[in-house]
Structures are given as C-alpha cells and as structure tokens.
Amino acid sequence: MLGLVTRHVIAIEGIVQGVGFRPFVYREATARELRGFVRNDAAGVTIEVEGEEAAVADFLSALRRGGPPLATITSIEARTTEPAGYDRFEIVESQAGADRTALVSPDIATCDACLAELFDPADRRYRYPFLNCTDCGPRFTIVRRVPYDRPNTTMRDFVMCSACQREYDDPTDRRFHAQPNACPACGPRLAEVADGGVLAEGEAALGRAVEALRRGRIVAVKGLGGYHLACDATSGAAVTRLRARKHREAKPLAVMVVDLAAARRLCVVDEPAERLLLSAARPIALLRRRSATHGGGGAGVAEEVAEEVAPGSGDLGVMLPYTPLHHLLMEAVARPLVMTSGNRTDEPIAIDDAEAQDRLGPIADLFLAHDRPIEAGCDDSVARIMRQGPAWLRRSRGLAPRPVTLPRPVETPVLGVGAHLKNTFCLAKGGSAFLSHHIGDLENLPAYRALERGIDHLAALFDVDPRVVAHDLHPDYLSTRLALEREAEAHVPVQHHHAHVAACVAEHGQTGPVLGVAFDGTGLGTDGAVWGGEFLIVEGRQFERAAHLGYVPLPGGEGAVRHPDRMAAAHLVAAYDGDPDRIPIPFLERFDPGELGLIRRMLATGVRSPPTSSVGRLFDAVAALAGVCHTARFEGEAAMRLEWAAEPGVTDGYRFALRDGMPTTADAGPVIRGVVEDVRRGERAGVIAARFHAAVASLVGEVADRVRSQTGIRVVALTGGVFQNALLVERTAALLDSGGYRVLLHRRVPCNDGGISFGQVAVAAETERTGG
Ligand code: ZN
Ligand code: ZN
Ligand code: FE
C-alpha cells in the first residue's frame, strides 16, 4: 500500500521556541512514520517532512490544532517540493537566519511536574532551587539573543552534566532542549552573599535567609527578573522597617503566599481570581481583603497580614510562588512574605549582583542570591479583576515581550517611547507590537538608562530597526528627549490622551471612529493646558476634542498631585464664583494662614497654576472634601480611598453641567456644591463617594448621547488611569450598555500610562499609512 511520497517544507511563526514545540513536532511526526527534521530558526520553527500524502495531511492538521500549551502559533506556511530521501525524523541544530523574528517566550511559573520533583526526596533534583523544564522556567529574563538556544542565554557558562545532557538530547524527555536545564551537580547555586563574598551556599544559605525572615529581618532575594525585598508580612515592625529604609511611606506592598488556600485566608478568591493567581504569568492580583483588620495592637494570628502592608486599603496585592526558590522559601517560612521590587523608590529593579548589593545594601539585612545572571529586568505584573476580566495595571514579568497584534501591519518599523510615569516602550514590526516590560517613572537617570538599554535589547532581539519614532508632546520629558536624539525618518508627536484612546481601540483590532473617554491625572494638551478629562473622537491618526472637564487652576502645578486639599480649594473657589468667602463650609480653615495666602494668590493670579481638566485631580478634590484623604502619600491614593469608601446601594448622584461650545465643557461646579451640601449635612463619606462615582458615570453617558446624536458614533472606549477604578468602570459601562453603546475596555494593555507607548505606536502607524 505504498502511496505517493511528498516532501513538505513548513515554516511556523509565533511563540514556538522554548515551549516544548520541537518535541511536540517530533512526537507527531514519528507517530505517523514521517521522515525529515525540525529546527529552530530566527523566524520560528522550520519543519521538513516526507511521507505518504495522507499522513502528511494528518500531521499538518495536528499542527494547526496548536502545539503544547505554552506555544502560540501566529502563522503556518507549507509548500511541497521534491522528496529529499530522508531516512528518519530528527531534531537538528538551530540556524541563524537573516530575518530574526522568532518570538521569545515570557518567563513561566514552575510547572506541576517540576514542583513534584522539587519535593520528592527520591528525585535527583530534590530541593534544587533552579529546576525547570520545557514547560516552565526562565525565558525572556535570560535570553541574550535569538534563536533561543543555551549559548544565547545567561546559562551559557553552565556545562550540563551527563545526566542533564541525556535529558536535553532525548526527544521523549520533558527536558529535551530545555535551555535552562540544570541540576545540583551542574547548575546555578544558591548563596548568601555579602561584600562580594559568599557566606553560605545551598541549603545553608536558604536556612539562614529563612531564619532571618522569621526574626523580622529584611532579605534581598534574587528572583527571575530582578531582586525582591522580602520581609515577614505578619510583622508590623518588619514592614515598618522596610518602608523606612526603602522610603516608601504608604503605597501598598505586595504579598507572596505559599498556596491558594493561604490566599483565600487573606482575600476573597473567586473563580476568575483563582485562574489569574494560578496563570503561568503568576501576577500580583489585587484582591478584596477578607476582613478589615484595623489597628488592634497585639500580635495577630501568624496568617494575618500586618496593617502596615497596605494601610487603610480595601485590597491586597497577592501572588503565588513562581520559581522553585520561592516554593522552598515560602514552604520553610510558613507565613506570608512582603515581596516588593528590589529598588529604592522610583528606581528600576536591581538585576546586576554587584549593583544590587550596592543599591540594596542599606535596605537589606541579608542577600540570598545565585549565580545565574539576569539579562533583562522584569518587575512582577499586576492585575485586577474588573468587568472585562483581568485588567493589567502593570504588564511585565510573565507577559512581556509577548506581542500585541496591531489592527493593520506597519510598513516601517515604529518605536513608541512611552509616557513619563509607569513608562514602557513599544516596538512594532509587521503586525506585531512588542510592548516592553515595565521600566518605571522616568524621573531619574537609572530609569532613563533602563529605557535606553531596554530599547536596544528588544530591538536586537526582534531585529527591529525603528525608522519612525513616536513620543509625547511634552518637550521636557526625558522620553521625548530620547526620542528626538534617535535618528529616524520621522518623529511623530502624539498627544497623551489620544495615545490612551488609540491604545484601547487598537488592542480591540480597530482604528475608529470611536468616542474615547480618557480620564487620568495629567497629560499635556495641544493648547498647553494640563489635560485629563477628555472626550476625544478618534479615527486613525485624527482626533477631535468633543468635550472636556472645565478648566480649574492646578495650584502649584504638578506638585498638586500630593495635595488633594489644595485641589479641593481650587475646585471650591471655582464652584463659588471665584469668591472664597462664599464657600459655606470652613474647609479653607484647614490651611495655615501662610499656605492659604499662597493658595489664594495662585488661584487669583494663575501664577504657577496652569489650567487643568484632570478628572484624577477632581477625584482628589472630592476625596479631600469628603475627608477620606487630605494628603496623598503616593500617586492615586486619594482616588483609591474614594473608591474603597463608596457605599453600595447608593444609586443617586451629583450632576455636572454641560456647557455648549467647541468643545463642550463639563462644569464640575454643581458636583462640588452638591458635595459641600452633603458635608454640611454631615452625610457619610461613603455616601458622598458613591454619589460622586455616579456623577462621573452619568457624565460619560450624557456626553456619549450628545456625540452620538451629532455623529452617529456608538462605540465608546474607556481609558486612562482613572479607569483602574473597578467601581467606576462597572457603573459607567453598565450605563453605556443600557444606552445601546459598544464599550471598549482594556484587556491586554494597561489603561494607565503603561499603555501609552502602544497607543503612540498605533497613532504613528496610522500616520505612516495615510502618508502624514
Ligand atoms: Zn517544569
Ligand atoms: Zn546536571
Ligand atoms: Fe495618562
């Protein structure tokens, strides 16, 4: 029954390297008695198979059904050619090609099979902190260049022992071509280090770190994408010490717990939350705390997290262990640990060992390190379950550098350098936008250098030479300077809120027209004002400002971010016709005479008080008036407190007044006067907060109705950092849904400034296409 023998040459692109793809191909081919080979190349994977036509067709459909769980196939191309006379099927060495487009997989949490070995006394990798296989382990953080092969990773200097090599060479083994494959005999080692020397190794080092953590000390732990600073999350004293040394006053800290059951003891873990916590990316999930455990003094149950971890917060950031080292550590410490990025506040995460000891030395009491270098720094990702499912507040470890698909392929490679805060950058080539890991706030030189380095690294990794560079309108941002210093065919300035809307629209595969609602803290507008309450009609590279929150002065400029009280003063004065004496509550008495004089002068003259339409700042003002936050110790604190304070069951709300014009303006005066009346009546803060959320939601509904009646547009994109607020998203989207709108919410890209670089790329891509 000899059928016709044909040879097929198959090119597969996508995330197909380092995820067990070739063993999968090997199994599928040999099971059908096909001959030929599979190999990684710069573009992905190439397969040649020879055999009977029916068997080859069957093989092809097996490929099309998808590979192993972690693989993502973006294209399969097959052509037939003359048989070459192969006599068996093999996996052959990688080839470096001219066009390097193979996608590097993100890092993957330890799989169940590896976890079982880790705690199996009979296994040769029993308690080995660096075990991994083709289904799990480090990827992006250890890759130096493509193709993804051991010599191109930071594992290159570890020579495999014969047992590891046998696994690596055996196509039927789980560790076949697992590039970071290692064991206690040949792989990286754990060490306690200090002053450049090793104090203890292996179990001894682990034991000393565990002991230190249990005694309330701060331990720097080298992980996948950088160092963490860890301490006992149940000890208020330990957390306070960490905060003091890290200069991080009040911003909530993330906690790692040993398993799902431990997460459940702290937080409400419903099914979507469970899936998020257990996903291969193992992000920090912001979950509702089970019970508010305020103050109380004495030592709580060991399982309970100290109030100092997330003071006054309704949510807690929780994550599960994602490396073997984390599993060993959590098992031994037997309590939740604070795990926060190893940096001084606002600096990038430390990755280099010497640099980490230098920078973190004043913070950490002990360093638990190892000798596998980290190539790319990658902070933990952060997600919150919202109406749309998990919404990424930080898209980094476990997700980067997975590309986001663009609505239309770009002809010329594009770089978007991103925003000033929560910076990421984005490189686009063809239909793929490679959205980078989290870089941080570009307020210091280390962050700027991390951005520069990151761009070079990803550009080399994906062979992108960006000829078009998109950047913010703000001339003083470090990102803008970096963009303008890069030689390119075109530099494209993109307004901040236009980028927000474009990001939301593009991740949904669209280019508009839509009504984009971009609410955030700050972004330079085309009129020089500080925008942040924008209704933009966006289509391709064009945008028209249909409406915005009415301008009020931003007293002291950007510094107002820290002073919700001052923002309240600005809104009060505006709401009462510019006359502070007409304000019917004694709010201004909060200020000492000197400060009040200064504020009154700034509001009267406009000196150091640019006009702003920021909805973020309006949240600040209302939070201050309601008494939930007078001074913000970190960005967004007032808005968070207002969200947590809002009482359920309150359905009525304040009203904005819409003023006709080009564009329409939304006057917050009536809202502020409504809040003041409630404050006067002694209404609860929770009621005020709920009425304010309702007001903002119905403002969106009203403007959407106006725009629809004028333009017919019935698609509304909600974007900007203000929409990290789950309550606001829920209320606004429900209202729009019932009004017959199609609502676009971010799912892949952060709605905050972490998504700006992707939006810049989306706008620049349209600019290029339309020849602008
Ligand atoms: Zn594994
Ligand atoms: Zn070995
Ligand atoms: Fe923004």
Whether the pLDDT of residue 1 is over 70: the answer is no
Question: What H or E segment, with its residue span, contains residue 485?
Answer: helix 478-485
Mean pLDDT throughout 74-91? 90
88 alpha carbon to ligand 3 midpoint, in Å? 57
Whether the pLDDT of residue 654 is over 50: the answer is yes
661 alpha carbon to ligand 3 midpoint, in Å? 25
Mean pLDDT throughout 380-405? 95
441 alpha carbon to ligand 1 midpoint, in Å? 34
259 alpha carbon to ligand 1 midpoint, in Å? 17
The larger pLDDT score, comparing residue 75 to residue 452, is at: 452
pLDDT at position 299 is 40
Whether the pLDDT of residue 459 is over 60: the answer is yes
What's the mean pLDDT when you consider all of the chain?
Answer: 92
The larger pLDDT score, comparing residue 71 to residue 298, is at: 71
pLDDT at position 772 is 47
Q: Cα dihedral sign for 112, 117, 119, 125?
A: negative
Model confidence at 295, pLDDT cuts 50, 70, 90, reads: very low
Model confidence at 301, pLDDT cuts 50, 70, 90, reads: very low
Model confidence at 297, pLDDT cuts 50, 70, 90, reads: very low
165 alpha carbon to ligand 2 midpoint, in Å? 7
Give the C-alpha separation, 530 to 43, whole Å.
44
Whether the pLDDT of residue 22 is over 90: the answer is no
685 alpha carbon to ligand 3 midpoint, in Å? 27
- Per DSSP, the residues of 61-118 read HHHHT--STT-EEEEEEEEEE------SEEE---B--SS--PPPPPPBPPPHHHHHHH
Model confidence at 100, pLDDT cuts 50, 70, 90, reads: low
Mean pLDDT throughout 570-586? 94
pTM (predicted TM-score): 0.91
Structure-token match 């004694």, residue found: 586
Note the ligand closest to the C-alpha atom of 501.
3
pLDDT at position 509 is 93
Q: Can the peptide bond before residue 147 be classed as cis, meaning omega within 30 degrees of 0?
A: yes
115 alpha carbon to ligand 1 midpoint, in Å? 7
Q: List pLDDT tens digits, range 149-190.
A: 899 999 999 999 999 999 999 888 999 889 999 999 999 999
722 alpha carbon to ligand 3 midpoint, in Å? 9
Strands (E) in 682-747, as ranges, are: 715-719, 742-745
Lowest mean pLDDT among 43-47, 270-274, 593-597: 43-47
pLDDT at position 303 is 56
Q: Which chain residues have CB less than 5 Å from ligand 2, an ion?
A: 161, 164, 183, 185-186
Note the ligand closest to the C-alpha atom of 421.
3
Mean pLDDT throughout 587-607? 92
144 alpha carbon to ligand 3 midpoint, in Å? 32
531 alpha carbon to ligand 3 midpoint, in Å? 9
Q: Which chain residues have CB less than 5 Å from ligand 1, an ion?
A: 111, 114, 133, 135-136
3-state secondary structure of 517: strand
Q: Is 78 exposed, middle or buried (0-12, 13-18, 19+ CB in 10 A)?
A: middle
361 alpha carbon to ligand 3 midpoint, in Å? 34
Note the ligand closest to the C-alpha atom of 124.
2
> Rounded to 5, what percent of the chain is helix, strand, coil?
35, 25, 40
The larger pLDDT score, comparing residue 430 to residue 19, is at: 430
pLDDT at position 102 is 65
Whether the pLDDT of residue 298 is over 60: the answer is no
Mean pLDDT throughout 608-626? 97
pLDDT at position 180 is 96
Whether the pLDDT of residue 731 is over 80: the answer is yes
pLDDT at position 300 is 41
Chain-centre distance for alpha carbon 32: 43
Q: Identify which of 439, 458, 459 has the alpha carbon closest to the alpha carbon of residue 449.
A: 439
| Percentage of residues in the chain having pLDDT higher than 70 | 96
Note the ligand closest to the C-alpha atom of 518.
3
Q: Which chain residues have CB less than 5 Å from ligand 3, an ion?
A: 520, 753
Note the ligand closest to the C-alpha atom of 132.
1
Whether the pLDDT of residue 2 is over 60: the answer is no
674 alpha carbon to ligand 3 midpoint, in Å? 28
- Looking at the chain, the number of H-run helices and the number of E-run strands are 21, 29
Note the ligand closest to the C-alpha atom of 616.
3
Residue 464 carries which side chain, given as an amino acid letter? V
136 alpha carbon to ligand 1 midpoint, in Å? 4
Q: Identify which of 430, 424, 235, 203 has the alpha carbon closest to the alpha carbon of residue 329.
A: 203
124 alpha carbon to ligand 1 midpoint, in Å? 14
Mean pLDDT throughout 597-608? 89
The larger pLDDT score, comparing residue 303 to residue 396, is at: 396
502 alpha carbon to ligand 3 midpoint, in Å? 12
Whether the pLDDT of residue 503 is over 80: the answer is yes
Residues in the chain: 772
133 alpha carbon to ligand 1 midpoint, in Å? 4
330 alpha carbon to ligand 2 midpoint, in Å? 25
Model confidence at 445, pLDDT cuts 50, 70, 90, reads: confident
Q: List pLDDT tens digits, range 198-238.
A: 999 999 999 999 999 999 999 999 999 999 999 999 999 99
314 alpha carbon to ligand 2 midpoint, in Å? 46
Lowest mean pLDDT among 262-271, 491-500, 614-623, 759-768: 759-768
213 alpha carbon to ligand 1 midpoint, in Å? 27
